[in-house]
Structure 1
Amino acid sequence: MSSPSHMVSLGGGHGLYQTLLAAQRSGAEQISAIVTVADDGGSSGRLRRELDIIPPGDLRMALAALAGEDPVGDLWARTLQHRFGGTGAMAGHAVGNLLIAGLTGVLDNYQAALDVVAVLTNSRGRVFPVVNQPLEIEAEVAGLDDDPRVMRPVRGQVAVASTPGQVRRVKILPEDAPANADALDALHMADLITLGPGSWFSSVLPHVLVPDIVQAISESDALRLVILNLSAEPGETHGFSAERHLHVLAQHAQSLSIDRVLVDENALPSQSERVYLQRAAQVLGAKVVFADVRVVTEDGVAINKHDPDKLAAAILDIYREFNSAEAHQKDISPDRSS
C-alpha cells in the first residue's frame, strides 16, 4: 500500500500537532491521535482543577491539527486555538478548552465531547485520551541539592518540564490507571504507529508507562515508528543526546518493541554519533532512518520544528520500505504448511 490505511500517533503538545499535520498530508485513510493527559498548567490546569475533568489542552491541539483543510475546518481550527486576552477570569483560556469542557458537561461523556468537536471541524480522524482520567507526572530529579547524587521528587507536568535539575526517571500517578479501551482499539487496527516527537518526559514517556499501551504497540503488526526530537529541550532533557533519548525510552518501557527511529539528517553530523544511536535503537529492535524533516525559513534558517510536508514524505518512504521488506521476508520464508 502506498499510504497508510490507519495511522495512529501518540504524544502531546506541539510535537503531536506537527505529526498530525503530517498524517493528514500522508494521505492516510484514517487517523487517530492518542494524547497524554497530565497537563496541569495554564488554561488546561485551571479547568482540570475547577471542573475535575481531563485537561483538554493537548486534546484540543490534536483536534485543531486534524481539522479539515477547507474553509470551515480552517475557521474552526483557528477558533479552537484562539485565546482570550485581558486580565479577567477568561484571560488565557483557549476557546477549544472551554468548548470541550462545556460539551462534556452537556453530554456527560468526555469522548462524546471530543467527537462532537471533530464533527464541527470536519476532522480527518478521532482523538482519544490515553487514559480516561487526569494523570500526574512525578519525576526523580538530580542536581537540586549540593550533592548531585541526591534525588528529589518533583511532581506536576509544568514543574517537571521546567525543573533546573536533571530528570532521571518519571512515573505517572495513579500508576495503575487503565488504558482507554478506544485507544487500544485504535492501536489494534493500525498499520502505522508513531510515538513522538515532543517533551520527552512529560508528553512522550507517559504513554509507555501504561502497560496495556506498551503491549498493544509491541504486539502490533503495524510499522512502529519513533520520531526523535530535533534537539534536546531546555529543562527536562537539557544536555541529552539523541542516543540518550532512546536509552531513556528503553529504560521506562523495557518490553517495548519498535521498528524504525526517524532522525533529522542534520541532527547528527558525526558518524560515531550515528553508530551509537543505531546501537541504542537496536535495544528496542529498531533501525535508524535519517531524513530532512526540519523547517527551514525563507531566508534559509533551520529552526527546531518539524516540517509537516517533509515529515509526511519521510514517513511514507519508511512505510513503503517497511512493507516492501515485510513482503520480501514472507516470500523467502519457507511454507510451513507443506
Structure 2
Amino acid sequence: MSNNTVGSSGPAPGKIRGPGRPPKRTCTWCAESKTPLKYVLPTENGKKEFCSETCLSEFRQAYSKGACLHCDNVIRGNAPSSSKNFCSTYCLNKYQKKNEKRTSSPQSGNGANGTENHANNNSTGSFYDIYQAFDWNEYMKDTNSVAASQECFKQAPMPPVNDFKVGMKLEALDPRNLTSTCIATVVGVLGPRLRLRLDGSDNKNDFWRLVDAGDIHPIGHCERNDGMLQPPLGFRMNASSWPMFLLKTLNGAEMAPAKVFQPEPPTPKSNVFVVGQKLEAVDKKNPQLICCATVGAVKNDQIHVTFDGWRGAFDYWCRYDSRDIFPVGWCARAGHPLQPPGQKSATTPSRLS
C-alpha cells in the first residue's frame, strides 16, 4: 500500500531518467516546483499532482464547484465573463475551435454526444463522480460476494457534511493517551474526515477523525465539563511552559464553531457481521486511505478486516462499532477516494516482511 499518498505518481513506464536531479513538477494548486509531488488526484481527464494535503483539499473544494471544459482545471477569478464553464478566454477559444472541427466531421453525432456528457459532468461540479470508476456491484458479482448491511456499522446512513476548514482549532482526545483532552488543529480535510495535529506535537503524530466523531468538541467543552486541557503526549517543550503555550496558541486563533460538529451516530446493538461480507475500511498503516475490504473472521464483539488484493500484513482486528469501517458505497457518497483491490501504488518488500 502507498505511503502517505492518495495515488501514485512516478515516471511514465519505459522512460529512464539520466543522472542528476529529477525534473521538477509544479503543484496543481499552489504552482510551486517541488519533487516529488506525493499527492495525486485522479480525474476524468488524467491526474492532478499536489505538494501537500492542504493543496489537495483546497483544489478539491474548488474543483467540486466546476472545472474548465477545456483543460479540466478549477475556474478561478480570471474566468471569462461570457462563460462560466472555462477558466480563461484562451481555453474558451480553444474549446470552441475544437468543437467546430467536431461538428464539421462526418462523425459529429458521436462527438457532440461525448462533448455534451462531459459538459454535464463538469457543470454539475460533482467531485463525487470522479471516484465512481470502481463498480462495487460488478465487483461483488464477479467475486460472488455480498455487502455488509448499513445496520452493521456505527456510521450515519448518509455521510455527514464537512464544514471544517484547515487551520480551525478544536478539542480532541490524545489518541495515544485517552485520558487527556488536548487542543488540536485541522491540517487536512478529506470528504467527511479531518486530519488533526495536536498543538505542541509534530506531524508524525497526526491522526484522522470523522466530523461526527464522539471525541472531538468545540473549544471550551472540556472546561464546561470540569476538565482541564492537557499537553499532548511527547509535548516538545517543558511541561511548566504549557499554560503560556496554551494561551498563545488560542490567542487570535480560528475556533471551529459548534455548528460544524455533527452528532455521533448510534452504536449497533450487537455484532451482526458475517464472514465474507464486503465493506470499506481505513488502512491503519496509511490512515488517509480507505480501501476495499472483506470480513475475514468474527469473534464476539470483534471482526477481522482483510484488504482485498493485499497480503495479510495490513489486516487487523477491530470492534464491530469501529468508526474506521464503512458500508459499501460510503466513499462514493462521501466524495472520499476509495482504493480499489490491489490497485494502490507498489508496495515495498519491507512493508510485507
- Per the normalisation by structure 1, the TM-score is 0.27
Q: Which has the higher contact order (CA 8 A, sep 6+)?
A: 1
Q: Which has the larger radius of gyration?
A: 2
Which protein is richer in helix relative to its size? 1
